Amino acid sequence: MADELPQMLRADARDNRDRVLESARALFSERGLGVPMREIARRAQVGPATLYRRFPTKQALIDAAFTDELRACSTIVRDGCADPDPWRGLRSVVLDITELNARNQGFVDAFVTSYPDAADFTAHRAGMLRALAGLCRRAQDAGALRPDFVVDDLILILMAGRGLPAEPPELRLAAARRFAALALEAFRASATASPLPPPARARL
């Protein structure tokens, strides 16, 4: 019996942590990162003390909640950059990341604008933008991407996508896909395209 008690406590602690993460992911996805920690605790059916014992800061909770999304984002960018056709690779990145944006509002808030001092997101964002800059140069060299395009334009697309309708989810996803397709048409090199205004430095 004495051996079973620590095991039961560890199991309870794991269950509490799993419920907190599940609740945080759901609320961040629905409403962004402004959700109070106490509301996350209520959704998870744990006390605030339990929540803060597991995640002393909101940033720690955000980092843990979006581990899967960071991995998915890395895969999207890596696969796009590995495509021998740079325009096709860039197209897949824009479409897939816009869809990821539509599925989880909180992740994009964390990745693009909120909590910029978070080491995981800062390092991940910097690495992704370096890789995408190389992909964009290849697409421009191939004559497929307009020459006045800059990587910050991708961030503008993500930021603009936050204004897509939130409900129902299938409408948001359909709107995101169309929005991405329209953006890609604007990115495509064309002899008749009008020059763009100066770049907006969107990176944070």
How far is C-alpha 88 from the geometric centre of its chain's CA atoms? 21
- pLDDT value at residue 200: 72
Question: Domains in the chain and their CATH numbers?
Answer: 4-65 (1.10.357.10), 67-187 (1.10.357)
Residues contacting 22, CB < 8 A, separation 6+? 44
Range list of H helices, 3-104: 4-31, 37-44, 48-54, 58-65, 67-82, 86-103
pLDDT at 114 (0 to 100): 46
| Per-residue pLDDT at 164 | 77
Q: Could you identify the residue written with the tokens 């990176």?
A: 203
pLDDT at position 116: 46
Q: What is the DSSP letter of 199?
A: P
Task: List pLDDT tens digits, range 86-142.
Answer: 999 999 999 998 888 887 767 766 666 544 445 566 777 788 889 999 999 999 999
Work out the average pLDDT over 7-36: 79
Look up residue 130 and give its two tokens.
């370096």
Q: What is the pLDDT of residue 183?
A: 94
Q: Residue 188 has what pLDDT?
A: 95
Give percent of the chain with pLDDT exceeding 70: 84
Query: Is 80 exceeded by the pLDDT of residue 46?
Result: yes
CA distance 47 to 164: 34
Report whether 188 contacts 115 (CB < 8 A).
no
Residue 40 has pLDDT above 80, yes or no: yes
User: What span, in angstroms and rounded, lies between the C-alpha atoms of 157 and 145?
Assistant: 16
How do residues 74-84 score in pLDDT, each as one tens digit?
A: 899 999 999 99
pLDDT score at 10: 63
What is the residue type of 64? Answer: A
CA–CA gap between residue 204 and residue 197 (Å, rounded): 20
For residue 5, pLDDT over 70 is answered with no
Q: Which positions ≥6 away from 39 have C-beta within 8 Å?
A: 27
Distance in angstroms (rounded) separating the CA atoms of residues 143 and 173 = 30
68, burial (CB in 10 Å: exposed 0-12, middle 13-18, buried 19+): exposed
- Cα gap 2→8, rounded to integer Å: 10
Q: Where is pLDDT greater, at 136 or 161?
A: 136
